[in-house]
Every structure is written in C-alpha cells, then in structure tokens.
Structure 1
C-alpha cells in the first residue's frame, strides 16, 4: 500500500533519528506519538500532506487526546481486538500533563526538523507551547526507610545480595537503573573510585563516583558473584544474562511493599540528588554526574526541596550563625 505524504516524512524522520544513533526508547517514543497524530489527521480532518497541517490541527489534537483519556487513541482500530485497552483499570482516565507535553514535544521536533530540511515554509508548531504543569514535589526516602528496604533482600541468595548492592549503588552514584544493569565488571575503577558509563541516555559516556563504603561493598559482592557466574556483567541474572529493568523494578517494588515504602529506581536516583545537594553539593557537578543536558535541567528538577530540608540546610550555612557575635 502506497504511503501518504505525511507517512513518508515521518518514516524519513525516524530513519534520520536511527542514523543519529538516538536511543531505541527515544525512537520508539517518536514512532508511537507521530503515528497516532497522523491517524488523527487522516481520520478527523482528511489531512495526508505535510503542507496541509495547520497550527489549529495540533491544538485540536491535544484537546482531543485530553478529552478522550488513556488508551482511547490508537493508530489502527484493529489493534483494539488484540490489546483490549478497554479492559485496563485506567482506561479513559485522564492523561497526565507530562504525557501530553511529551506528545507536543515530539510533534514539534518533527516539524522543526522538516523546516530545517527545507520542506516547510510556514511551520505549524511555531505558536504551539507546552502546557504549564504544576510540579509535584519528589518524595524522598529517609535513612530508616532505606534501611528497612535493604532488610527485605535475602542476602543468602545470589539475587537477593545482588539487588541489595544495586540499590546501594543507585543511592551512592545517582545513575539510571538502565545504565546500572548494563555495567560490566571492567567499568569499575577502584583506585579512583569511579565507574565509566557507556550505555547512557543520549549515548554520551560519563563517569559516576562512589564512596569508600560503596567500594568495600562492591569488592565483597564481586567475591560472592564470582561463585555463581562467569559472565562479565556486574549484575547478571542467576542464568548469567542481563537483568531487565522491568524485572528489577518488580523485585524492588515487592521489597518496598514489604518494608512499607513505595519505591521506584528513579526515586532512588532522585534521592541521591536530594541528599547530594543537602550535603553541600553544587548544581553544576550534580548535573555532570546525573548526565543531564544542562545545569538548567538539573535546577528545574531538584529545586523542590521541602521546607524542613531548606531550613536544615539554612542552619548549616547561616552567615550570622557562623560568626562570633560580641555583645
């Protein structure tokens, strides 16, 4: 079946993304978002050419998605006969502003690229803005909760001990869980207490750093690990294969439930950043460690410290509190 004009340009854009070595996750996000948008343009407005897309089409698409709710917009109606979205507990529930903004952002990337390619004279996304969001304060994990979480792992089993070390490493380095599970043993530099991450978001290598305590834990773990596997992976499954993010997330969620703590790998990364700042760390260094594209991204993500945390930090840095006042 012959592709429409819009379908051709979307496929060309996805090929461009692949040639740039963008991550599989990013390309998949573009693919899903843009093809849903194309289906909407064709079905609701009869638009199949790139030059026919107007700013109003994009605004109306955003409203369309928000009104209909989760899993109601599909690329092909036949997929409903396979996936049965109406059976999901969150079917038709409101789509978060973050998700809608991701849709808008991906559409903007496509049309900005088309303009750079010289395919557009007037860009329909020029006057399209992201929806203003109310930032939800990131929930931290305190020391007692963290220790209760660690207690849920059975250290006498390989996978239990492995999961404990993963949690410790996430809290100590702030790396992403996907980066952590791809690590090889040779990535660890014990002399300089740093780890080279090569499979990262954006495919940009960077170093993260670990403490003396973490160094001792890692050395003990490696002795234990060598009894169970010969793979070069730092955190393999019991069969020596790569542990999937989904599998670890489930095991962590189960441990958290038993400890009475709602926890997710990214929450531990956030917890690292929070504690780093509260202990006197600066945004510039934190941005480098986390692998953010800019310091601004880091500042926007971690300026939501609680009043109590700000008050505590203030007491440690109060100018008057550090002076010797005579009187």
Structure 2
C-alpha cells in the first residue's frame, strides 16, 4: 500500500537523522501526491507510472497555488490568500519532483518498485536569479540603524555580522552554544547534528569578530542564563523564522529590499572569491558536499566582478 510505504519512508528519514524541515517537506509533498492518486483510484506504489507523474505535474500547473491542501481542516483559509490560485513556480514544482524522487529512490532500494517514475527530463530548467549583493556602505548602514541598547537587536546585529564573516547557514548559527566557540583560535565547531549535511565542521572568524563575540558573551551572560550563544529574551532557542522576520524589518528601515539571512551567506561566498579565495576552500567552508554544489548555488559573479578579479591577478602587471 502506498500510504504504508510513505510512512516507512518517513520513519527511515527520521532514523537517518535528517533535518525536521527536510522530513516535513518530504511528507507534505507525498501527502499532496496521495490526494491526487486517491482521486485517480491509485493506492499501490507500483502502479505509479511516469505518465501518472506527468499528469500530476500538469494538474499542479493548472490548479495553481493553495487550491489543494493535505489538511482541509487546518483552518488556514487558503482561499483568502492574495496569491490563491496563482501560478505555481517552476522552482516549487522542481522541489516537489525532487522530494518524490527521494521517496521513489528509496522504494527502488527497498525492492518495492523496479524503477523510479520520476525522470530527469521532468525537471523544469530554471534560470537562477542572483541574490542581492549588500555593499559595504549598505551593510554599515544596516548595523548603524539597529538599536544595540535592546537585547534582541544587539543580539541580531552580532548574528548578522557573524553570518557575513563565516558563511554559516542561519540555522547552524542559531544552534551554536557558547562552548562551541574558541575565541583564542578564532573558530566555531558546528556539531554534525546541527549541519545540513550531518557532518561536523569548523568555521572561522576574524579578529574583529572575536572582539565582538567576546563583548556579546559577557553582555549576554550578565542578563540571560542560557547555553545558546544567541538566545531569546527568555533564554530559549531563537527560531529561524523569527530571526528572518527581524532581518526583513531592519532592512526595511533603510530601504533595502529582498534581504534575508541567506543573503549574507551568499555575500560571504562572493566576497571570499573576490578577495582571491579559491572555490575548493570556499566549498569546504560552506559545508557543501562538492565543489559542483558551490558552483551551481553561489557563484553570483558578473562581468564587472571578473574584471576586478583579473586586475588583481594580472600576470603582466606583476612582472613589469
């Protein structure tokens, strides 16, 4: 039965220690798929063909956003949303296909089916839109307009600086405990259970950041009793979505658009390369599984950037 196989797959993901967010994304995708398959009278995993998947994707495009929910009693009132029924983006469809592919790949490994009904050609080619680049002046302006007399804004200003200085993912940063920080050797250890790839790694910070962190830790310890480096006003874990909302608020104060925490990771990557860093080292620092992932996701280098990098490394200018 399909529902049994889905439940076994989710249990397998939990046993592997995958992130809760990843498991939730898999389950939501598969429950939406099951709703469609139920309408088609398909209850067996082995009955799902490539044609079925193609028809499902076609229906997603035709129906639009929020016209189907895996929980009709959730009380979210999807029809009241301003984007209700609007086009589902190609990125979202690719995410659905990727999640379904993970499930069917597991089914093949478990000998439940012979081959996956999701094919490479099903994915939609999407031109990646470069993330915003925050200039030096805008970054300084962002920090200047944060109220460091407030515990939460002082905390967030340190988090923002650390994200730009290290290239960490925001969830990795917010999970740091004070004992993970080595101020003398200028590094932070990220335990395997806190990283996306489930591999522990070190990230490094500058002397300036070390001074900022030392001041912050003394300040935090005076007023909050928490093992987390960046805790809430009540000493609890700071949720990623709350921090993201804060960053948008700070950016709006100075008229910056499309600024969210991941922008700082992207800016770190670009600044590292522009300063002469190599892509292999960058890939290690970002915690990517391969250099290919880094190339595909973080190389927002335009023609002007290439020209500047060239001028720094021109062979003739170093000879004559």
TM range (shorter): over 0.9
**Which secondary structure state, in structure 2, belongs to the residue aligned with residue 133 of structure 1?**
coil
Q: Distance in 1 between matches of 2:85 and 2:200?
A: 40
Conserved in 2, the CA contact under 8 Å of 1:59 and 1:128?
Answer: no
Which residue does the alignment assign to 1:89?
Answer: 82
Distance (whole Å) between structure 2 residues aligned to residue 159 and residue 74 of structure 1: 36
Gaps of 5+ in 1: none
Alpha-carbon deviation of 1:15?
0.8
Q: Which of 133, 156, 161 is the aligned partner of 2:154?
A: 161
Paired position in structure 2 for 1:64: 59
State the SS of the aligned residue for 2:197. Answer: helix
- Matches for 1:1-327 after TM superposition, within 5 Å: 5-43=1-39, 45-79=40-74, 82-126=75-119, 128-198=121-191, 199-262=194-257, 263-324=259-320
Aligned length: 317
Report deviation, 1:123.
Answer: 3.3
The alpha-carbon deviation at position 303 of structure 1 amounts to 2.6
1:137 Cα shift?
A: 1.8
Q: SS where residue 83 of structure 1 aligns? A: coil
CA displacement at 1:306 relative to structure 2? 2.0
Pair 1:75–1:157, CA change in 2 (3 A): closer
- Distance change >3 Å, CA 40–CA 197, structure 1 → 2: same
Return the alpha-carbon distance in structure 1 between the equivalents of residues 245 and 119 of structure 2: 42
CA spacing shift, 1:122–1:222, aligned 2, 3 Å: closer
Q: CA deviation at 1:60?
A: 1.2
Distance in 1, Cα, partners of 2:273 & 2:37: 46
Contact 2:32/2:69 (<8 A) preserved: yes
| Deviation at residue 78 of structure 1 after TM alignment | 4.3
The Cα of 1:129 is off from its aligned counterpart by 3.3
Q: Quote how far apart the aligned CAs of 1:51 are.
A: 1.6
The question of whether the paired residues in 2 share the 8 Å contact of 1:55 and 1:127 is answered with: no
In the TM superposition, what is the alpha-carbon distance from 1:97 to its structure 2 partner? 1.6
Q: In the aligned structure 2, how far is the partner of 1:187 from the partner of 1:274?
A: 26
Per-residue displacement from partner, 1:208-242 (whole Å, max 9, x unpaired)?
A: 00001101111111121121112121111121111
Aligned-partner Cα distance in 1 for 2:115–2:99 = 18
**CA gap 1:126/1:93 in 2 versus in 1, 3 angstroms:** closer
Provide the secondary structure at the position in 2 that maps to 1:202.
coil
The two structures have a TM-score, normalised by structure 2, of 0.95
TM-score by length of 1: 0.93
CA distance in 2, matches of 1:122, 1:175: 37
Give me the CA root mean square deviation. Answer: 1.4
CA displacement, residues 244-281 of structure 1 (integer Å, 9 cap, x when unaligned): 11111111111110011121000111111110111111
Indicate the SS of the match to 1:207.
strand
Instruction: Please give the alpha-carbon distance, in whole angstroms, between the structure 2 residues aligned to 1:230 and 1:111.
Output: 46
CA–CA distance in structure 1, aligned partners of residues 76 and 239 of structure 2 = 23
How far apart are 1:284 and its partner, in Å? 1.1
Distance in structure 2 (CA, Å) of the matches to 1:301 and 1:278? 16
- 5+ residue gaps, structure 2: none
Provide Cα deviations, 1:67-89, integer angstroms capped at 9, x if missing partner: 2221112225444xx21101111
